[in-house]
Amino acid sequence: MYPKELRYSKEHEWAKVEGTRVRVGITKFAADRLSDVVYVELPKVGSEVAFMQTFGVVESVKAVSDLYSPVSGKVVEINQALVEKPEVINTDPYGEAWMIVVEPRDPGELKRLLDADAYMALIGERQS
């Protein structure tokens, strides 16, 4: 349910290191709590994001939530398909529903994030 190879923020974003870049999305826990996602706002390619600062918004039928970047750097890719079909966040939060790809300024920031076990402890879930 929470891939071991990912790092997690306390704000419920995940980060996946892919070579020199970091792919970012929100966790299944966050997607489940939001319920039916109807809108997502992402930054433009080329914009800068900062560690644990907002980079976008996700809106569901229940709430509007800010998205926080788990790493500082330059946005080099956004998931345009997600903007057009935000409901994918509810069905595939670790696959098709990735949000942005960042070229990090300081990859060391990733060490400040949680591993899967620590994240599961944070949200009160156990590995099955």
CB burial string 87-122: b at 16+ within 10 A, e below = ebbbeebbeebbbbbbebeeeebbeebbebeebbee
Q: What is the pLDDT of residues 7-64, one digit of tens each?
A: 999 999 999 999 999 999 999 999 999 999 999 999 999 999 999 999 999 999 989 9
DSSP 114: B
Q: In the predicted model, is pLDDT for residue 128 greater than 60?
A: no
Rg of the chain over Cα atoms, rounded to whole angstroms, equals 13
Q: What angle do CA 111, 113, 119 make, to 5 degrees?
A: 135
